[in-house]
Amino acid sequence: MSIIKDAKQLAQGLVQGAVAKAVALAPDSWVPGGEPDPLIRMRHGHVGKPVSRIDGPQKVAGKATFAAEFPMEGLAYAAIAHSTIAKGRLVAVATEAAEAAPGVVLVMTHHNAPRLKPPPVFMSSQKAAAGDDLPVLQDDRIHWNGQPVAVVLAETQEQADHAKSLLRFSYEAEPSVTDFAEAEARGTAQSEFQGEALHDAVGDAEEALAGARFKIDADYSSPRHNHNPIELHAVTLAWQGDVLRIHDAQQVLAHAAWTLAQVFDMPEDKVVVTSPFVGGGFGSKTLWQHQILAAAAAKLAGRPVRLVLSREGVYRVVGGRSQTEQRVALGADAEGRLEAIIHTGVTVKTAHNAMPEPFILPTRSAYAAKTLLLDVQEVELDMLSNTFMRAPGEAVGTFALESAMDELAHEIGLDPIELRIRNEPEKDPISGLPFSSRNIVEAWRAGAERFGWSRRNPVPGAVRDGEWLVGMGCATATYPYYRMPGGAARLTLTQDGNVSVDLAVHEMGMGTSTVHTQVLADRLGVPMENVAFNYGDSRLPGVIMAGGSQQTAAIGASLIAVCDKLVGELLALAGNDSPIAGLAADAVVARDGGLAKRDDPQRHETFASILQRAQRQSVVVEATPASPLETMHWSMHSHGAMFCEARVNAVTGEIRIARFLGSFDCGRILNPKTAASQFRGGIIMGLGLALMEETQFDERNGRVMNPNLSDYHVPVHLDVPVIEVMWTDIPDPHTPMGARGIGEIGITGTGAAVANAVFNASGRRVRDLPITLDKLL
C-alpha cells in the first residue's frame, strides 16, 4: 500500500519537476504574464487613484452585516465547553444540571452528536479548508488542551454560557508531549511545506563559514502567537430543507463550503456559505471546529444557531503561529560579500495538520551568497493545530535573518544598508530563475533619504536624550508573489451599459471590492458607477482564497480572462454592420465602453450599440485564467526597506517606537489609500511581534494561560507611532495590472528593524522575541 503510494508520489514529483524545468526554459511569450497586461500602460484611469472604499458608508453607518449579526427566525445561541487536559479520554459528562438550566435547548456531546466524517485538512486537496483532520465530537478522545467537548444551545447567549458552566467532565489523562525541549531531545524530523522539504543546500556552507573573514553565528527564537482579529470567529446558520445555509466570517469561501459538504456527507452545492464582510482574518478565518459544531447542533436541535467564539474560545479553537528556534550564521569576505548563509532551526506542529512555521522562506531569495544551507526541522506536540498567520515563515524568519545581517554589518563596520545592497543577487540564488521585477535598491535609497538615515550614529548607545537612549535600525521586508490555481469569474453586460461581475472572493477590510471595481472600470472603459462587484458567496465562481497575499492577482487574472471572453462574444454579436466588423479577436480591445480596433481607436462601437443591434438585453460570459505557471518561470517577490527609530529608557528598559517608515517595492500600487492602510496594518502587527505578542503556553499541560486581550498584549494606539509608507510603484511586467500582493509584507522585516534600532540605541542585542523590558535590564 505505502509503496504504491510512494511510487505514485514519486511519479507525480518527477512530472512536476519536469514541468517546472520546461516552464523555466520556455520562451516568455508562452507563459502567463509573458505579454504585459495592457492595463499596466494605462495611466489616466481609476487604477492608481486613492479611491475611498465603496463599502465605507455602509460600514460607518452600521449597515454592513457581519456573520454574528444576520437575523434568523428562532435562533438558538451556542456556547462551547473545552477540554482541560492535553491528551486522554473523556470518561464521563454530567449534563443534568445544564439541561435543567433556564432556556436550555440542547446539550450536545460525543454521545448524541450527529455522525460526521473527519474534515479534510488544509492543503490535503485543492478545496480542503480545515485546520486539522480530527473527528469533531465523534468519540471520547482528547487531542489538545482546549478541544471542544460539549456544545450548549439556549434561548440566549447568557443562558448558554451559564448552562455550560454547570457541565462536569471526568477525564482519564494519558502521557502527553507538550514541552518543546523535551520533544526536541527525542529527535526532530524534516519539515515540509506544501509538499516540499524545507531544505536547500548550495555548496558547502559550513566550510565556507569556517573560512570566512567575518562571521556571525547566533540563535534566535520566537514564541507562539495567537490570532486576534477584532471580529470574533462567528457563524449564524440554519438547515433549510436539504441546504445548509451559513453566514460565516471566511477567507476561504469555496473551500469551506466543499469541506463542510465532506463532513456532512452531502453534495457541495447544498452548502451555501456567505461572508460579505470580515473583520480581519490574517490566516485565521478558515474552517475550524466551531462551524462544524454549530451546524451539527442546529441539525440535532432543528433550529438555526448562532455561535460566536468568546475571545478565550478563539485561543482554544483557532490555531496561531508556532514557536521557532533558529540559527543564522553568515560568513563574509573582507568587502562584506556573503560567502555563506546558514539558516536552520526547529519549529512545532501537530500530528493532525500540515503547517510548520516555514521560517527559511525569505532566505531563499534574499541575498547572493556563494553557499547556502537552509533547513527546518520539526517536533510534534499535543496541542491545537497551528496555522497560517500573517506572512507565515517570513514574519519570524526575517526577524532572525535581518537581525543577523545587522550583526554582521556591525562586525564588519559597514553601514547595514550598504551591506544589503552589496549582496543584492542578480538572479534567484536557489532556483537560478530571473526575477520578474526587483527594485529593492531603489526602495532602500528612497527610504533612507526620507527617513534621514544619514543622521544615524553607528556607535551603539551613543545618542542620549535625558533618560532615553535613541537609535535607528533597518531591515529588509520580503514576501513572495503567489497566484494560486482556481481563479474564475462570471461577467454580465447589459444593454444599459452596466457590468456586473461575480466571484467567490473576500473582503476582510483590505479594499478588495473597491480596487477591483477600479480595475474592471478601466479594463472595459466604463464609469465605476456602472460596475457591480459581487463577492462573498460560495455559489459564485472560483476557488480563490484571501490568503498568501494572492487574492488581487487571482482576481486580476480572472478579470482578464473574462474580459477577453467578453470581447470574443461581442465581436461575434457585432456582425457585418459594425465599425469593428471583420476584425480578429486579438485585433480588438475593450475601451471607452465598447470595442475598438487595437491600433485604431476610431473604429469603435459601444457595448450598448452592439447589444441593441443584436437585440440582446445582456451577455453573460464565464472564464478561468491560465494556470499560474509564471511563478515557475520567474522568481517573483515583493520587497521593502523598513526603518525604525526606537527609544530605550536607560532606567526602566521601557521601549518606545518613535518613528517607523516602510519603503516598498510591490509592483504597481492599485489604490494608494487602501494600500497604505494594508502596509500600516502589517507594520503594526510587526510591532506587536517585536515588542509584546506571546502566547503563554504551560508546557506541563499544554494549556494556553493568557487567552484574552488583557494578558496577551497587542499594540494599542499609544504603542504605535506615526508610520510613514512609500513605494517605488514600478509595475511588475509579468503580473495582472503590474501589481504584487501587499497584505503580508508589512509584518516582515519589522521585528528585525525594531531589534536593530534597540541595539543601536542601547547596545543590547535581543535575539529572543518579544523584546520586553526585562531583557534590556
Catalytic residues: 744
Looking only at residues 580 through 619 of this chain, which bind ligand MOS when binding is defined by CB under 6 A? none
C-alpha cell at 675: 494600500
- Beta carbon nearer to ligand MOS, 472 or 747: 747
The residue with cell 503510494 is 5
Q: Return the SS3 of 199.
A: strand
Surface-to-core class of residue 584, CB atoms within 10 Å of its CB (0-12 exposed, 13-18 middle, 19+ buried) = exposed
C-alpha cell at 747: 509584518
- Beta carbon nearer to ligand MOS, 281 or 625: 281
Q: Which of 347, 322, 385, 328 is nearest to 189 (CA)?
A: 347
CB of 399 closer than 8 Å to CB of 752: yes
What's the alpha-carbon Rg for the chain, to the nearest Å? 27
Axis-axis angle for helices 512-524, 551-574 (nearest 10) = 30
Surface-to-core class of residue 613, CB atoms within 10 Å of its CB (0-12 exposed, 13-18 middle, 19+ buried) = middle
What whole-number distance in Å separates Cα of residue 340 and Cα of residue 408? 12
By CB under 6 A, which span of 388-396, 551-559, 605-613, 764-772 interacts with ligand MOS? 388-396
* Size of the residue set binding ligand MOS (CB under 6 A): 11
CB of 548 to ligand MOS, least distance (A): 5
Residue 511 has φ and ψ, to the nearest 5°, of 105, 15
What whole-number distance in Å separates Cα of residue 143 and Cα of residue 145? 7
Question: According to CB under 6 A, which one of 66, 77, 144, 282 is a site residue for ligand MOS?
Answer: 282
How is the chain split among helix, strand and coil, in percent rounded to 5?
Answer: 30, 25, 45
- Beta carbon nearer to ligand MOS, 392 or 715: 392
CB of 222 to ligand MOS, least distance (A): 15
- Beta carbon nearer to ligand MOS, 251 or 385: 251
What whole-number distance in Å separates Cα of residue 395 and Cα of residue 618? 47
Neighbours of 182 (CB within 10 A): 12
- SS3 for 282-314 is CCCCCECHHHHHHHHHHHHHCCCEEEECCHHHH
CB of 354 to ligand MOS, least distance (A): 14
CB of 479 to ligand MOS, least distance (A): 10
C-alpha cell at 234: 462567528
- Beta carbon nearer to ligand MOS, 314 or 757: 314
CB of 301 closer than 8 Å to CB of 103: no
CB of 285 to ligand MOS, least distance (A): 8
508 residue type, one letter: M
CB of 520 to ligand MOS, least distance (A): 24
Q: Among all residues, whose Cβ is closest to ligand MOS?
A: 283
CB of 364 closer than 8 Å to CB of 478: no
Q: Where are the alpha helices (DSSP H) in 589-701?
A: 607-613, 630-633, 672-691
C-alpha cell at 374: 537552509
- Beta carbon nearer to ligand MOS, 166 or 396: 396
By CB under 6 A, which span of 165-173, 347-355, 384-392, 632-640 interacts with ligand MOS? 384-392
DSSP state of 658: E
CB of 552 to ligand MOS, least distance (A): 13
C-alpha cell at 188: 526532530
What whole-number distance in Å separates Cα of residue 51 and Cα of residue 221? 41
By CB under 6 A, which span of 151-159, 385-393, 415-423, 659-667 interacts with ligand MOS? 385-393
Looking only at residues 495 through 554 of this chain, which bind ligand MOS when binding is defined by CB under 6 A? 547-548
CB of 389 to ligand MOS, least distance (A): 5
CB of 344 closer than 8 Å to CB of 327: yes
What whole-number distance in Å separates Cα of residue 165 and Cα of residue 81? 8
**688 counts as binding ligand MOS under rule CB under 6 A:** no
Looking only at residues 736 through 755 of this chain, which bind ligand MOS when binding is defined by CB under 6 A? 744
Count CA atoms within 13 Å of residue 285 on its CB side. Answer: 34
CB of 547 to ligand MOS, least distance (A): 3
- Beta carbon nearer to ligand MOS, 39 or 745: 745
CA 393, chain centre distance (Å): 11
- Beta carbon nearer to ligand MOS, 321 or 343: 321
Q: Return the SS3 of 602.
A: strand
The residue with cell 535609497 is 445
- Beta carbon nearer to ligand MOS, 392 or 738: 392
Question: According to CB under 6 A, which one of 32, 279, 283, 628 is a site residue for ligand MOS?
Answer: 283
From first CA to last CA, the distance across the chain in angstroms is 58
Question: According to CB under 6 A, which one of 389, 475, 477, 766 is a site residue for ligand MOS?
Answer: 389
C-alpha cell at 690: 517585536
Question: According to CB under 6 A, which one of 229, 345, 356, 392 is a site residue for ligand MOS?
Answer: 392
Neighbours of 8 (CB within 10 A): 10
CB of 398 closer than 8 Å to CB of 476: yes
Looking only at residues 242 through 281 of this chain, which bind ligand MOS when binding is defined by CB under 6 A? 251, 281
- Beta carbon nearer to ligand MOS, 83 or 387: 387
CB of 396 to ligand MOS, least distance (A): 13
Question: According to CB under 6 A, which one of 245, 390, 456, 680 is a site residue for ligand MOS?
Answer: 390
CB of 640 closer than 8 Å to CB of 478: yes
CB of 238 closer than 8 Å to CB of 265: no
By CB under 6 A, which span of 175-183, 190-198, 382-390, 632-640 interacts with ligand MOS? 382-390
The residue with cell 445548509 is 244
C-alpha cell at 77: 445561541
What whole-number distance in Å separates Cα of residue 190 and Cα of residue 268? 35
What whole-number distance in Å separates Cα of residue 647 and Cα of residue 762? 9
Beta strands in 130-198, from DSSP E residues, in sequence order: 141-142, 148-154, 168-173, 189-190, 192-193, 196-197
Longest dimension (CA), the chain: 84
The footprint of ligand MOS (CB under 6 A) covers 251, 281-283, 388-390, 392, 547-548, 744
